[in-house]
Structure 1
């Protein structure tokens, strides 16, 4: 099985024909063609051989000529039958190619769907991170939570907290603040997040904030791609799975979350987020979620 997301889509496309060829050979030799599809060829070969045996004179030029005509007829018939089988094999390869191409195309970031008719008022409130896929660079480690509020003007803001290690040894609980805007009202689930921190060269900036899915009462999946590859797939991105309950999800909700992780080509890339209470230093107005030198 191909695991999408981590691998470059262009490189994967280069392997498609090789995969198709292997599957066609397997299918043709061992998985059914030999016992079913190739039966007409075998039957035709036996029939022609039996006819040739019935009319097999000996010792004359006519015999040689007749046998030559029979061989030519046999060759022609077998050529047509083999050609027909070749077309079937090519059709199978093309269908496989189309299927794989469709799977590859689904990893183009612009093809990802977000929560339809996203409602920030219902989304507001406290959320706890249970899983995360980190971007490149420093990212919140654990005890991640976020509280969203919606103002009278409909704008959404958030205050978030999480534990992070600074300078490789200093573990702190860092608070952050963020404001969200909707570039296109047609897709309110695709927002842009501006965040601020104590040290602007470390922690101020902006990123996309896409709500891939949420039921507002149990789970939410957010996604951001910071840089794109030439083929439209994500070079560097991150995602967080939130829950209203820090203790986790029901099995039914877990299945929904896994499906959404596959849809954004991040299946198997998430890490669990610990939610616990500990005595750690608190630094106000630090945005450790996206600590980088980006502006």
Structure 2
């Protein structure tokens, strides 16, 4: 059984590596935003910069976060036009969420490393793969469709502090039309 697991892993490795940031080992626990206030985080966020991620391709990626009645969050994603969900990962660390945009996809981590709530947010996610590799993602979000260069640099510094390879960061183009419709 173990040899078939490694064979499968070797077959999947090129696919995983081509669109992700794949590393040997396992995820570490990043330092998240102190005294995170989930209510202040609600509203629209634009994805302005990211590491490669198969689930965030292309341009015009934004999401609207709102509190749900079950103590979690609703996530309306403009790119996929879907309603997702987010739940608190640890009640003592409210900056850590588990998020899923599709009902058939398991919840994945979304950790807010840094935010001022009004202009930028730096988000990190990491998933262990078969106890051998991990995939990590860095995201820079903005309340507007872009961030000034100095804010982008500061955001990248936060990601580098957590070991994210920011040389692979990609700008996410936002257009000026098509406001996010939230039912």
Q: CA-atom RMSD, angstroms?
A: 2.6
8 Å contact from structure 1 (residues 209, 222) kept in 2: yes
Residue of structure 2 aligned with 1:193, choices 78, 99, 102: 99
Question: Could you say if the C-alpha distance between residues 111 and 207 of structure 1 is closer, same or farther in structure 2, counting changes exceeding 3 Å?
Answer: closer
Aligned counterparts, 1:168-207, within 5 A: 174-196=80-102, 200=104, 204-207=105-108
The count of corresponding residues between Structure 1 and Structure 2 is 157
Counterpart Cα distance in 1 of 2:145 and 2:177: 15
Question: Could you say if the C-alpha distance between residues 157 and 220 of structure 1 is closer, same or farther in structure 2, counting changes exceeding 3 Å?
Answer: same
**Alignment partner, residue 219 of structure 1:** 120
Which structure: larger Rg?
A: 1
Structure 2 unpaired stretches of 5+: 1-20, 179-183
Question: Could you say if the C-alpha distance between residues 263 and 194 of structure 1 is closer, same or farther in structure 2, counting changes exceeding 3 Å?
Answer: same
What's the secondary structure of 2:101's corresponding residue? Answer: strand
Aligned counterparts, 1:1-295, within 5 A: 8=24, 109-135=27-53, 137-151=54-68, 154-162=71-79, 174-196=80-102, 200=104, 204-227=105-128, 235-249=134-148, 251=150, 253-266=151-164, 267-277=166-176
What's the secondary structure of 1:237's corresponding residue? Answer: strand
Q: Which range moves more in the overlay, 149-158 or 257-266?
A: 149-158
Counterpart Cα distance in 2 of 1:155 and 1:125: 14
8 Å contact from structure 1 (residues 214, 220) kept in 2: yes
8 Å contact from structure 2 (residues 75, 101) kept in 1: no
What's the secondary structure of 2:66's corresponding residue? Answer: strand
Question: Could you say if the C-alpha distance between residues 144 and 241 of structure 1 is closer, same or farther in structure 2, counting changes exceeding 3 Å?
Answer: same
More strand by proportion, 1 or 2? Answer: 2
Counterpart Cα distance in 1 of 2:122 and 2:169: 12
Counterpart Cα distance in 2 of 1:256 and 1:229: 33
Counterpart Cα distance in 1 of 2:167 and 2:40: 29
Q: CA offset at residue 228 of structure 1?
A: 5.1
Larger relative contact order (CA 8 Å, sep ≥ 6)? 2
What's the secondary structure of 1:262's corresponding residue? Answer: helix
